[in-house]
Amino acid sequence: MRKAEWIWKSRTFEPDEYAVFYDTVTYTGEPVKIDISCAGDYALYVNGRLVSFGQYPDYRHDKKFDRVDLTPFLLRGENELRVVAWYIGFDCLTGYDFGAGLIYEVYTGREVLTYSRPGIACGPDPAYVSHRKHLITAQLGYSYTYDTRHAGEKRASAQAVRVDSLPEKLSPRPIEKPILRPFREAKLCDANSGIYDLGRECCGYLSVRFSAPAGETVRIAYGEHLTDGGVRDLIGDRDFSVSLIASGESVDFFGPFRRLGCRYLQIDAGADVIIEEIGLREAEYPFTVREYRAETPLRQKIYDTSVRTLSLCAHDHYEDCPWREQGLYIMDSRNQMLCGYYAFENPAAFARASIELILQGQQDSGLFDITFPSRFPFTIPSFSLTLPSVILEYTEHTGDISLAERAMPRLKKLLRFFLDGLRENGLYKTVSRPELWHFYEWAGDLDGSFFARDPAEKERDDYDSLINAFLSIALAKTARLCRMLSDAQTAARYESRQASLNASIYGHFYQEKTGLFKTRLRGEAYSALANALCILCGACPEEKQRQVAAKIARGSDDLLKNTLSMNIFRYDALLTADAAEYRTFILSEIDEVYGSMLRQGATSFWETEKGEADFDGAGSLCHGWSALPVYYYHLFDKQDRKE
């Protein structure tokens, strides 16, 4: 931007603070645009009409701006420009606190018409209630309270001041903004409890017309399912709701500051509240869905529901779920990107933008943050080791090698962390440390509970086959990327390290008496995931692969079953062992597992097979990693065409 400065309403600010800024722009008929960015979130209005909202999630050192065409909203002469800016001020899985600030510049051609600068009229927003700090979840952040008595009220009690702590150089949003779909009305399904049903899992912004006595708070809860006669909105310290304060008259409200993932809405208010209509304006990234025809009606329904699940988990980046977290994880997004390459005609830009966010979240150690952008104090090592697979699959599916070139120094730094930690026996040892969450999946103690993070608890350390297999796979994938980049020397070095590591994995974890790989050296724990990974990394000799595959396909009481998220490793391991035999098995299992969810009323696919009952009632009913049928249907179709 040429003239714009970062501003706020004062030099001090508190978390969960809403500020409003007023400006004018004169329109003479030429096309007019605005570049706008916020440290937090924003909603832009011209002459009272909402024009744009939703700051791209970014890092302080790489701020993004939206470029918006104002022309359709302008009248000849002077026009009012109003920006409501929300300083969130809370570190969560979808963003982190790096101060308050707003910057914008309005221009036509080469002429700057107006811009953010000290002295413009501003003040606390009169309608949004600041500093309430109503936490939805620790991962998602704050909700909002809106006082409709002050809707549209102009209250400029201060003059903006310059903010010096934010960068002057900004770059444009790397992808398109999500599209706001027409209003989807929720239907009243329980008048006694005030419950409304959207008819399917949705993700968007609350839109409601209502009236209630002036000053009355109308709490609107949202959730994915009903239990005990209502929406499950209070789960532990989590509170899935927003609040509106009534004006005594009928008002229309649209909430641009929080995207809700839900199917049901429930009104908590006095008997005098009147809901004239309520629902969501669904937000969708503008993917072009690729046409697909499955061989059976059930598989068509599974495929279509999988694609919808993907779309519900993709807005500014891939996100694990639209309801509870909306976080960009490496492991989750790996599944989502892989499916997206087949489900959509135009997946490349969106996938690359998600990966670019991930690459910026590398810690000094070489490991990557848990989500992006964030600065949570811990990380998941196994997820970090999945990044080479993400980069390789992007490169193979898009033909774009530039991302691999950009990522390679970061991948090398990641691998150094693990290779430097190899012990005398050739294995990486998993040690309890507060900053490491040794999570693999939501099955048994593979959720990280075996390795205590809290120093006050008993610390554990052991060699486990999973992290070593993940390291082996990462070495192989990075070696392939090196060869694509014509770096045969580095590729050969990684291939040699992988061969040595695989020999150590086999020598220490494989048990002749069971014909399986142990999960850890100590004890006799076995898991489907560990054995699948040992096949995929090449630690399991070819002559033993079919034996191991048969056991993880069939399962047993002493072999810990994997969850939906890890089926990609289990299925790929089965296909590696015997593609002809396990193709039918995989398709039949997808029919059974996903068909069961559909029969239970699923309109998107769940986090685990337990659905809402998992995680003490906090199980997600829409999770991007569960869209895997898209990938396997296309994979098998591709094999058929080759045959």
Instruction: Tell me how far apart the alpha carbons of residues 472 and 509 are, in angstroms, rounded to a whole number.
Output: 14
Instruction: Tell me how far apart the alpha carbons of residues 539 and 504 are, in angstroms, rounded to a whole number.
Output: 8
Return the SS3 of 404.
helix
Same domain for 198 and 318, yes or no, is no
Q: Is the pLDDT of residue 229 over 90?
A: no
**pTM of whole model > 0.85?**
yes
pLDDT at 452: 80
Same domain for 449 and 376, yes or no, is yes
How high does pLDDT run on average in the chain?
A: 96
Residue 137 falls within a domain, yes or no? no
Residue 196 falls within a domain, yes or no? yes
> CA nearest 615: which of 91, 130, 232?
232
Averaged pLDDT for residues 345-366? 98
Last residue of a domain, one of 284, 312, 330: 284
Residue 290 falls within a domain, yes or no? no
pLDDT at 454: 76
Contact 115, 106 (CB under 8 A): yes
Rg over alpha carbons for the chain, rounded to the nearest Å, is 26
Residue 143 falls within a domain, yes or no? no
Q: Is the pLDDT of residue 323 over 80?
A: yes
Contacts 24+ apart (CB under 8 A), 551-554: 551/515, 551/516, 552/528, 553/582, 553/585
CATH code for the domain of 253? 2.60.120.260
- Strand-pair partners of 25: 79
Same domain for 204 and 337, yes or no, is no
Burial class (CB in 10 A: 0-12, 13-18, 19+), 471: buried
Label residue 515 left, alpha or beta by phi (over 0 means left) and psi (-120 to 50 means alpha).
left
Q: Work out whether strand 526-527 and strand 559-560 pair parallel, antiparallel, or are unpaired.
A: parallel
213 CA to centre of own chain: 39
Q: Is the pLDDT of residue 361 over 70?
A: yes
CA–CA distance from 473 to each of 167, 422, 499 (Å)? 39, 16, 11
> Cβ atoms within 10 A of the Cβ of 350, count?
24
Q: Is the pLDDT of residue 1 over 80?
A: yes
Return the SS3 of 430.
strand
% pLDDT > 70, the chain: 100
Last residue of a domain, one of 284, 316, 351: 284
Note the pLDDT tens digit of each residue in 242-301: 999 999 999 999 999 999 999 999 999 999 999 999 999 999 999 999 999 999 999 999
pLDDT at 557: 84
- Residue-number span of the structural domain to which 82 is assigned: 7-131+150-172
Helices (H), 450-605: 465-484, 488-509, 528-536, 542-554, 567-599
Same domain for 254 and 165, yes or no, is no
Contact 580, 551 (CB under 8 A): no
Contact 193, 218 (CB under 8 A): no
Same domain for 118 and 237, yes or no, is no
Contact 339, 330 (CB under 8 A): no
Instruction: Tell me how far apart the alpha carbons of residues 493 and 475 are, in angstroms, rounded to a whole number.
Output: 9
Note the pLDDT tens digit of each residue in 564-614: 999 999 999 999 999 999 999 999 999 999 999 999 999 999 999 999 999
Contact 108, 26 (CB under 8 A): no
User: Can you read off the two tokens belonging to residue 311?
Assistant: 């779309």
* Most distant CA pair in the chain, distance: 85
Same domain for 250 and 279, yes or no, is yes
Same domain for 339 and 191, yes or no, is no
Residue 330 falls within a domain, yes or no? yes
Contacts of 68 (CB under 8 A, 6+ apart): 33, 34, 36, 44, 51, 52
Confidence label for 456 from pLDDT (cuts 50, 70 and 90): confident
Note the pLDDT tens digit of each residue in 509-556: 999 999 999 999 999 999 999 999 999 999 999 999 999 999 999 988
Averaged pLDDT for residues 369-381? 94
Contact 619, 613 (CB under 8 A): yes
CA–CA distance from 590 to each of 6, 289, 303, 560 (Å)? 52, 22, 10, 19
Instruction: Tell me how far apart the alpha carbons of residues 285 and 179 are, in angstroms, rounded to a whole number.
Output: 6
CATH code for the domain of 629? 1.50.10.10
User: Can you read off the two tokens belonging to residue 16?
Assistant: 């969960």
Residue 136 falls within a domain, yes or no? no
Instruction: Tell me how far apart the alpha carbons of residues 313 and 408 are, in angstroms, rounded to a whole number.
Output: 28
Averaged pLDDT for residues 101-130? 97
φ/ψ of residue 581, rounded to 5:
-70, -40
Averaged pLDDT for residues 164-185? 96
Q: Is the pLDDT of residue 138 over 80?
A: yes
> CA nearest 521: which of 415, 420, 385, 430?
430
Contact 449, 460 (CB under 8 A): no
Same domain for 396 and 480, yes or no, is yes
Same domain for 433 and 559, yes or no, is yes
Note the pLDDT tens digit of each residue in 382-433: 999 999 999 999 999 999 999 999 999 999 999 999 999 999 999 999 999 9
Number of domains in the chain: 3
> CA nearest 322: which of 281, 283, 371, 270?
283
Residue 138 falls within a domain, yes or no? no
pLDDT at 228: 82
Averaged pLDDT for residues 197-217? 98
pLDDT at 181: 97
Same domain for 305 and 275, yes or no, is no
% pLDDT > 90, the chain: 94
Q: Is the pLDDT of residue 457 over 90?
A: no
Same domain for 426 and 572, yes or no, is yes
pLDDT-wise least confident of 130-134, 226-230, 507-511 = 226-230
Residue 401 falls within a domain, yes or no? yes
Same domain for 423 and 537, yes or no, is yes
Averaged pLDDT for residues 462-486? 98
Averaged pLDDT for residues 299-328? 98
pLDDT at 643: 67
